[in-house]
Each structure stands twice: as C-alpha cells, then as structure tokens.
C-alpha cells in the first residue's frame, strides 16, 4: 500500500462550516418534520417542596384554561414505581405520586397547543403537601432516621462494605508515621449547563411503532427504558438523535420527562414535543460532583508518603441514579492517583438527599479522586515545609510500559508520570515563578502569586467492551460510516473520516457519518467516559481495514489476477496489479460490481482489551489580591498524555474545553440550596458560569505514550483537562496565601472565601 499517513496531522474539522453558517439541527429545530407537524406541547408542573407527602393534586383550574388539551398525574396514567438500577429498594413513579423528594421533580404533565399555554397552566396546578424534614447536608441525611425512601431502610443507599471492603481503620492506621495530616474537603455540586437544554419529541406511527427524538449522548441506551415506559417490545421503539448542543455526561440516560412522552402521545393520539427552560435545566437536569471527602495522609519528615486514607461520602441527590455508584466504582479505584503509596484505605458511602439527583458529569468520579489525593499531597508538603512539586516527584510511580497494579487493585496500562511533570514544570519555568513569588512575599505586595501543581491519572474507555461500526462504499465512490458513538462537540465526523481515509484512501470529503438512528445503527454504547476514539474510532479503523482487505478480492476478480497481486494505492484511492499502476479499479468500480451481492461493506462489533489510563501534569498560576480575596488566573500549563494522537487540533480543543470546566469548578461554580432545600442558583444570573474573560490562553504541552490496549494506541482526552486543572487551580490559590497561615480553601475559591480564609488565619 502506498500513500502517506493522515493520522497525527492537524486536520481542520469537517463539522465547522455547517455550525458556523447554517447551524446545527437540534431537537427544537425538528418541528417542521412531517411527522411532527401539528405536534402539541408537554409542560411539567414541578414540585415546589424538597421533601413532602403529596396529600392532593387539584388540576381543575388548569384543565379549564385556554389551549389545554389534557392534564395527567401519576394516578391518571396508572404509573407504577420504577426501581433504581443501582438500588432496587429505591423506587419512584415517573410523575411523583406519594412523595416529592427534591424541588423541580415532575408531578403533573400538561398538554397544550402552545408552549406558553402550558407554562400558564402549570402555575394553576394546586398541590397540597405535608412537609417533611428536608436534607441538603449529606451527613445529616446519612445520620437521620427520617427516610427519603422508606423501603430502602436508610438514606445510605450504597456502601463499599457490601462489596467486602472493610471500614477504614481510623487513626491506628497511621501509627509509626512521623507526619500525619487530616483534611475535610467538599468537592462541590455543579450543574452541567449544556448550551442546548434537554428536548424531545414523540409520535406513534400507523405501524404501531414509536419514534422518539432525543437530545442524548446514547441513542441506543434510550430504547429499553422507553420501551419499558410504554409497555412495548423494544423493536417497536425508534430513537433518533439530531445534533446535540453539549451533554457533559448529564444526557447519557433518559429522564422521566422524556420517558413519558410516548405514553402521553398515545393517550391523546397526537405527536408531542417538550423542551425544558434554562431554570428547569438547572433544577432537574442531573447535577455533578457533590462528594464530601475525609482524607488523612501520613509519612516521613523527608516527604515519603506511606499511608493514605479516604472516606468519600457521595451525595446521590433525590434518587439512586448514576451518582450512587460514582464514588465506589470510579473514585475508589483511582484513589491512589499517580503515587506509589504502599498503604491505602478507601471506603465510600452513597447517600440520598433532597436535592437534584447526581449523574455522570465530565470525569464522573475520577476528578474527585484526583482532587482528594492532590489536595492531600499539598497539605502534606506544607506541613513538612517542602516544595509541593518535589514531594510529588519523590512519591510518583516510576515509569512503566507494562501493566502496573496499585495497592487498591486498579491496573494501569502504561505511565510516565515524572516526564509529564518535568515537561510541565519546564514549560512553566517553575523556578522563575517561585523566585517571583518569593520577591512578592518579601515586599509584602498586596497581590500575591500562587503556583499550583497537579499530577493525575484517570481511567477512560472502560464503559462497554467495544463498539459497533459499519463502513459502506457507494456506487459513486463515496463512503458512509455508521457508528455507535454519538458526537456532541468532539469532532467525530473529522476523526472517523481520517481513520477511514487512512485505511481506504477515500478522501475525507467523500465520507459521510451516520449516528444516532437506532434503525440504522441498532448496536451502540454511545459517547461517555472518554471512550469514543479508543472504542468507536478503533472499531471504525479496524472495520475499514477489513473492508479494504475484502475489497482486494473484488479488485482481483475485476483485474483478472490473483488477490496476492493486488495493491491499494491510497493516494489515488484505487486498486492495481503490482508493477502495473496504470490499470486501476476504483472504489466506485468495486461498489458497482458488488451491487448484486449486497453491496461493498463491512459491519462488525469490535471489542477492546479494556480501559486505558491517560495521565498528565498541570501547572496553574494565579494572582490573589490579599485585600479583597479576588483571584486572577494568569497561566495554565497542561501536559496531557492521551497516547497516540489522531489529530492535534481535536486534542487541543478537548484540552481547552476540559480546562475551562475544571477552572470553573475551582473558581466559580456551585449549586446552592437554602436550609429548606430550595435551589438558590436556578439560573445563569445566580450561578457562576465561566466565560472566555476569566480564562488565560492555555499552554498545551504534547506528550505521547501509546497504549497497547487498542489498535490505534489512543487513550481518552475528553475529560483529562477537567481532571488535571481543578486541583492545580485550587492548589495555586491556597499557595498564594499559605505564607499568611492559610492551609485550605474550599472550592469554589471565590473572593469572599479567600478573604475569609485570610482573616481567619490572621
């Protein structure tokens, strides 16, 4: 095969011209779709109480309002409790019936001719409550005998002790340590805030099939729950996903509002559509993080860490959703981070509270693990009076290119953590930064410099064992790629086209991507957990390679030679006989020849050996005004090793976006509730959403340590920037004022929090 490789080159995104000109086609743009013409609107009346028994629901006034077609409750729809996947003793109806468990939980569904009529009618619904004690604090909920789900027997809905993992030993674990430092950290609750809020539409066909459009990260994952909600076989459910304006993990599953649309459409005999408002999104779209961490770290005065103990208390919110398992199955396995700590104990406890349920959010449990161990390393270094970067260096796991298993039992694929740290420190000119910091401290400057360091490893591609892919060549020579992954900003069209061009020589502009249609792609695990390239892309790469090999036999038949004598000239996208390049058969020729045999295609589910473990190091530089507490983010140096790089442009974009979200958590974002469980950050006027104005230019340092786990050698990159940046920023803020006696500042490190920490230390 001839031709230079396109892999590893900086290829511009194929997707961008559409998004920058005509724009994407989202759920809310679909209502000119023929099947949705005349569709009516569904609006949900939501709970105004955080925890209460429902005594009665009066819908009479709403039913009499203009444009109202129907009003439904759990009782009128005969809804039955649906058990949670992660604790079957926790169950709820899709519209709240016996109780409400968080503000924003849907209680009544209203069908109207226009969206505005639905909003008016929702305000006319009268719900009589018997108010119960509301739990916003996860520890209060954990200790209380007032239960949010009585059938569960406790507000603790999962604990790692049920897995045979013993409780943490306690202080006795650290006997013999010369230095022991304790900390209580809150990895605060955040809202995903996708640019496109949730939306969906549903219609029943004359053939008895339900077609439903979803703004989702996993179309195939919606089939089973939607079929169950509608009481039909999954073959009667067709899911379509148009362009999706961001997901960040929160759009992986189907929510009650989406699951009920088919039920409502069948009841009224018309197509229905639904779109939430931004306030509804802030209250009812699943939240992220919300993990309380008790950390103890111990070791020698020279800086060697010998013992580490973590108790992660995961706030699951008002339902045992994905948040229930984030701590035990994502935080715990990554609790040792990049460090060779010989003794580690990690227990996790998941607790329901009267708040929005916690779901997967960019990183999903791994940022929490990194934040805990990195904060602990900072406090340990501060306690012994040594440089934070050097303490990290002396505790790093040495470079390994064969699998390495940590004390907690997690096996990493490959790692070179010290090189990543050295690259980041050199790029930042760490010594010069420390010299500038010392100068400002000596002069008593009101604006102090803070330098934060984090070294991390994370787990990616662990969701599902593989992915489906199909590559078909059409009679005009174009190729169509069918993928079980779902793009919502990652650049799949560009990346998958590069992979197919690499294997076939078909130009990228002649390659079309199909996703998010469960009739065309019935098997797929979607996009989450940074799995796309290493599973979905790997499948496309291998399927395209197999197709190229299969095509040789067709070419051999047309050229009337043996298959061994046929070569694929990738530069021309044509097959010829060895030594006779003038006589060729194109992909189009082959596709025409195979027309009567089912076409020129290959379809396969490709399994991978397991997860991969990207790693890296971040250096954050901030300036803190000690008189006001204001933090200014000056620099962010990021060395993120994602294995073999397919496209540096896509890599940099994912790193930039991830860092923006990580910095936002460190400095700005926090979902807040009052004591009664009422959200006080239910719109973007009250919630600290980051913009370009708060961010410096990111300095990306490339490093590639290929993984043997997949054929491409790639690891995930979609979440790494978030995982590395947050602890680096928090570290930098604390470092800026540590000489004033400040040892810890909770996130987000707002001006008020920083100022109060300085005052308390003085």
| Helices marked H in 335-489 | 366-384, 388-395, 417-428, 430-443
Across 646-741, where does the E strand assignment appear? Answer: 698-701
Residues 6+ apart with CB under 8 A from 280: 44, 46, 104, 197
pLDDT at 557 over 80: yes
Neighbouring CB atoms inside 10 A of 289's CB total 28
Q: Residue 304 pairs with which residues in a beta bridge?
A: none
**What is the structure's pLDDT at 465?**
81
Pick from 106, 417, 434: which is nearest to 283 by CA?
106
Determine if the peptide bond prior to 748 is cis (ω within 30°).
yes
pLDDT 10s digits, 437-496: 999 999 999 999 999 999 999 999 999 889 999 999 999 999 999 999 999 999 999 999
Q: What SS3 class is residue 413?
A: coil
pLDDT tier at 4 (50, 70, 90 boundaries)? confident
Average pLDDT over residues 344-361: 98
- Say what the alpha-carbon torsion angle 624, 630, 634, 639 is, to the nearest 10 degrees: 90
Helix 720-737 and helix 366-384: axis angle, to 10°? Answer: 30
Spell out a b/e string for 336-353, using b for 16 or more CB atoms within 10 Å of the CB, else e. bbbbbbebbbbbbbbbbb
DSSP for residue 612: B
**Residue 403 structure tokens:** 């699998």
Taking the C-alpha atoms of residue 223 and residue 522, their distance in angstroms, rounded to an integer, is 9
Q: Do domains 16-21+462-607 and 33-132+198-275 have the same CATH topology?
A: no
* Whole-number percent of the chain with pLDDT over 90: 98
Average pLDDT over residues 497-524: 98
Token pair 């709403």 is found at: 62
Computed on alpha carbons and rounded to an integer, the radius of gyration of the chain in Å comes to 28
Ordered strands of the 615-625 beta sheet: 447-457, 615-625, 631-641, 698-701
**What is the structure's pLDDT at 3?**
57
Residues 6+ apart with CB under 8 A from 439: none
Helix 648-667 and helix 720-737: axis angle, to 10°? Answer: 40
Taking the C-alpha atoms of residue 536 and residue 499, their distance in angstroms, rounded to an integer, is 11
Pick from 419, 444, 393, 372: which is nearest to 731 by CA?
372
**What is the structure's pLDDT at 176?**
95
pLDDT at 733 over 60: yes
512 within 8 A of 621, measured Cβ to Cβ:
no
Q: What is the DSSP string of 651-680?
A: HHHHHHHHHHHHHHHHHT----B-TTS-BS
509 — alpha (psi -120 to 50), left (phi > 0) or beta? alpha
Instruction: Return the domain boundaries, the chain.
Output: 16-21+462-607, 33-132+198-275, 288-460+611-761
Taking the C-alpha atoms of residue 126 and residue 602, their distance in angstroms, rounded to an integer, is 57
| Helices marked H in 221-332 | 223-230, 256-259, 261-268, 278-284, 323-326
pLDDT at 2 over 80: no
pLDDT at 1 over 50: no
**Spacing of C-alpha 581 from chain mean position:** 48
Statement: 288-460+611-761 belongs to CATH 3.30.365.10: yes
Average pLDDT over residues 354-368: 97
- In CATH terms, 16-21+462-607 corresponds, of 3.30.365.10, 2.120.10.30, 3.30.930.10, 3.40.50.620, to 3.30.365.10
Q: Residue 627 pairs with which residues in a beta bridge?
A: none
**Residue 219 structure tokens:** 């179309």
pLDDT at 751 over 60: yes
Number of residues assigned to the chain:
762
40 phi and psi, to 5 degrees?
A: -100, 165
Average pLDDT over residues 522-533: 97
* Helices and strands, counts by H and E, the chain: 19, 30
pLDDT 10s digits, 142-186: 999 999 999 999 999 999 999 999 999 999 999 999 999 999 999
pTM of this structure: 0.97
Pick from 534, 698, 528: which is nearest to 614 by CA?
534
pLDDT tier at 32 (50, 70, 90 boundaries)? confident
**What is the structure's pLDDT at 196?**
97
Taking the C-alpha atoms of residue 731 and residue 185, their distance in angstroms, rounded to an integer, is 13
pLDDT 10s digits, 587-602: 999 999 999 899 999 9
pLDDT 10s digits, 222-265: 999 999 999 999 999 999 999 999 999 999 999 999 999 999 99
Average pLDDT over residues 403-414: 98
DSSP for residue 406: -
Taking the C-alpha atoms of residue 81 and residue 664, their distance in angstroms, rounded to an integer, is 37
**What is the structure's pLDDT at 334?**
98
* Averaged confidence pLDDT in the chain: 97
- What architecture (CATH level 2) is domain 33-132+198-275? Alpha-Beta Complex (3.90)
461 within 8 A of 714, measured Cβ to Cβ:
no
Average pLDDT over residues 353-367: 97
């Amino acid at each position: 095969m001839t031709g230079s490789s396109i892999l590893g080159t900086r290829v511009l995104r194929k997707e961008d011209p559409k998004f920058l000109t005509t724009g994407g086609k989202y759920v809310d743009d679909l209502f000119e779709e023929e099947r949705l013409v005349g569709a009516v609107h569904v609006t949900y009346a939501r709970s105004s109480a955080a925890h209460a028994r429902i005594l009665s629901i009066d819908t009479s006034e709403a039913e009499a309002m203009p444009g109202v077609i129907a009003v439904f409750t759990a009782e009128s729809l005969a809804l039955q409790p649906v058990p949670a996947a992660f604790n079957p003793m926790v169950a709820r109806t899709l519209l709240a019936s016996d109780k409400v468990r968080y503000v924003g939980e849907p209680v009544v569904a209203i069908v109207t001719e226009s969206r505005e009529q639905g909003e008016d009618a929702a305000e006319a619904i009268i719900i009589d409550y018997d108010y119960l004690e509301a739990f916003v604090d996860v520890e209060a909920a954990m200790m209380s005998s007032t239960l949010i789900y009585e059938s569960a027997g406790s507000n603790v809905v999962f604990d790692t002790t049920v897995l045979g993992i013993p409780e943490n030993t306690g202080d006795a674990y650290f006997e013999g340590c010369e230095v022991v430092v304790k900390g209580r950290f809150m990895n605060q609750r955040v809202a995903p805030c996708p640019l496109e809020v949730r939306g969906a539409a549903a219609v029943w066909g004359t053939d008895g099939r339900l077609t439903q459009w979803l703004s989702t990260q996993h179309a195939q994952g919606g089939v089973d729950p939607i079929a169950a909600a509608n009481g039909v076989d999954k073959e009667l459910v067709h899911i379509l996903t148009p362009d999706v304006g961001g997901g960040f993990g929160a759009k992986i599953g189907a929510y009650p509002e989406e699951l009920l649309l088919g039920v409502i459409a069948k009841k009224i005999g018309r197509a229905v559509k639904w779109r939430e408002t931004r306030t509804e999104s802030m209250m009812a779209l699943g939240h992220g993080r919300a993990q309380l961490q008790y950390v103890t770290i111990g070791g020698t005065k020279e800086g060697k860490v010998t013992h580490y103990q973590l108790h992660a208390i995961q706030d699951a919110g008002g339902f045992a959703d994905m948040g229930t398992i984030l701590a035990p199955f994502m935080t715990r396995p990554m609790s040792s981070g990049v460090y060779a700590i010989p003794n580690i104990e990690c227990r996790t406890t998941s607790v329901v509270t009267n708040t929005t349920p916690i779901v997967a959010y960019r990183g999903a449990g791994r940022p929490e693990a990194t934040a805990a161990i990195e904060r602990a390393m900072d406090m340990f270094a501060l306690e012994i009076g040594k440089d934070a970067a050097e303490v990290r260096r002396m505790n790093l796991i040495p470079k390994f290119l064969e699998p390495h298993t940590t004390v907690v039992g997690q096996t990493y694929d490959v790692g070179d953590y010290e090189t990543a740290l050295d690259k980041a420190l050199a790029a930042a000119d760490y010594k010069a930064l420390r010299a500038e910091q010392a100068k400002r401290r000596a002069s008593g400057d009101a604006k102090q410099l803070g330098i934060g360091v984090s070294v991390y490893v994370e787990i990616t591609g662990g969701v599902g064992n593989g992915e489906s892919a199909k590559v078909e060549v059409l009679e005009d020579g174009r190729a169509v790629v069918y993928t079980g992954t779902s793009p919502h900003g990652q650049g799949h069209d560009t990346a998958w086209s590069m992979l197919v061009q690499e294997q076939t020589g078909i130009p990228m502009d002649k390659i079309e991507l199909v996703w998010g249609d469960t009739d065309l792609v019935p098997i797929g695990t979607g996009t989450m957990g940074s799995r796309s390239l290493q599973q979905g892309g790997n499948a496309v790469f291998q399927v395209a390679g197999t197709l190229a090999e299969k095509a040789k036999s067709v070419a051999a038949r047309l050229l009337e030679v043996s298959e061994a004598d046929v070569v694929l000239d990738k530069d021309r996208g044509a097959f010829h006989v060895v030594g006779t390049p003038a006589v060729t058969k194109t992909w189009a020729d082959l596709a025409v020849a195979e027309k009567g045999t089912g076409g020129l295609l290959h379809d396969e589910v490709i399994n991978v050996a397991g997860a991969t473990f990207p790693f890296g190091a971040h250096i954050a530089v901030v300036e803190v005004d000690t008189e006001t507490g204001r933090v200014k983010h000056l620099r962010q140096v990021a060395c993120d090793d994602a294995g073999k790089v397919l496209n540096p442009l896509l890599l940099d974009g994912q790193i930039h976006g991830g860092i923006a979200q990580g910095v936002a958590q460190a400095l700005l974002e926090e979902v807040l509730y009052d004591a009664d469980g009422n959200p006080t950050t239910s719109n973007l006027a009250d919630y600290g959403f980051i913009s370009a104005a708060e961010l410096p230019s990111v300095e990306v340092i490339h490093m590639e340590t290929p993984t043997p786990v997949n054929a491409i050698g790639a690891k995930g990159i979609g979440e790494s920037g978030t995982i590395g940046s947050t602890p680096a920023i928090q570290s930098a803020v604390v470092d800026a004022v540590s000489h004033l006696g400040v040892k810890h500042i909770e996130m987000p490190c707002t001006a008020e929090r920083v100022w109060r920490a300085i005052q308390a230390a003085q």
